[in-house]
Amino acid sequence: MASILDAVVPLFAVIFAGYLAGRTRMLGEDAVRGLNRFVFTFAMPPMLFRLMATTDVTALGQGRFLFGYFWAELMVFLTGAILGGLVLRQGFAAMVMQGFGSSFSNGVLIALPLLISLHGEQGAVPALLLFTLDVVMFSAITTMLEAARAREGAGAGSAMAALRTSGLAILRNPIIMSTLLGILWGIAGLPVPSLVSKTFGFLGQAGPPAALFALGATLAFRRVRGSVGSASVMVALKLAIHPALVFLTLTLLVPVEPFWVHSAVVFAACPVGANVYVFAQHYGVQVTAASAAILVSTGLAMLTITALLVGYPPPVPL
């Protein structure tokens, strides 16, 4: 129990410190945006590239792991979207955001630091592999939302335009691109020069703590009023149904080794990812619900993740 708390509590303590900094306005919104830009552009990408460039993912043979997680994520997405349409009477774009918020984990800001805290650097590998699925998720979400916008007459109005926008969004995402470039570098077997490795490693050390602090500060400016039903569905599916379905999938449907099952379950148990709000704000769909779901799920996650780890401890010593 003590080792579990040692791994979880410091992460959420840093989030809380960031929240206090934002809530007391020690950091204004402009400063928080600058901190987020530092995390996503300068701190995390070098760390992600370095980790993946020194890992030959083809040697891991984790196709079953990726397929199983993706299948579970897709099922949760569809469940959220269908509930949004049938129960909450949402339109197509809102249903897409409902499914997105129900199934997309905060992988960069919480899952990655948490898995590193639990397993050391080897814990980063499952998280980084799952980041590659973000490419598929972002592409699909962008395409569907662009299609909805086009159908409503608010956008360029073609499937090709939606695909082009999706591709540009991926190319402009430093987290995804650094992970993909690192994977390709590792597959090619190219060495990372010592000077580059040390520089990236030094810069990357700032990534996880700065990311957690920035997340807390960002949450201080979120609003939770309105869209209670939609946000509640997102939180329930994300924190409970998603990890449960991932566990069942990777133990019964496509069994993988215990380390990979545990890592995937922890990843799925993380709160709603910040990119859900980014998409919601960009497309003007479910903005309040996304904001509330991120804030509430992050606040609850310390309790739910701790309970999960107590009942389902890591298969390797902490």
**Closest CA relative to residue 138, chosen from 274, 268, 33, 32:** 274
160-191 residue pLDDT tens:
665 666 667 667 778 778 878 888 898 888 89
- The domain containing residue 160 runs over which residues? 2-311
19 domain residue, yes or no: yes
> What integer pLDDT is reported at residue 71 of this predicted model?
96
Tell me, yes or no, whether 162 lies in a domain: yes
Whole-number pLDDT of residue 271: 93
Decide if 317 is inside a domain: no
Residue 159 has pLDDT above 80, yes or no: no
Kindly indicate the confidence band of residue 125, based on its pLDDT and cuts at 50, 70 and 90: confident
What string of DSSP letters covers 94-106? HHHHHHHHHH-B-
Q: What integer is the mean pLDDT of 217-242?
A: 86
**Mean residue pLDDT across the chain:** 84
The CATH number for 99's domain is: 1.20.1530.20
Share of the chain above pLDDT 70, in %: 89
Query: Cα–Cα distance between 227 and 177 in angstroms, integer?
Result: 34
pLDDT at 37 over 80: yes
pLDDT given at position 95: 95
Does residue 52 lie in a domain region? yes
Task: Centre a 10 Å sphere on the Cβ of residue 141 and count the other Cβ atoms it contains.
Answer: 23
Whether 233 maps to a domain, the answer reads: yes
pTM of the model: 0.80
* Three-state DSSP class for residue 230: helix
Structural domain contains residue 74:
yes
Q: Which two tokens stand for residue 216?
A: 């807390």
Is 316 contained in some domain?
no
What's the number of domains the chain is made of? 1
Identify the residue with better confidence: 223 or 87: 87
Helix then strand then coil, % of the chain, to nearest 5: 80, 0, 20
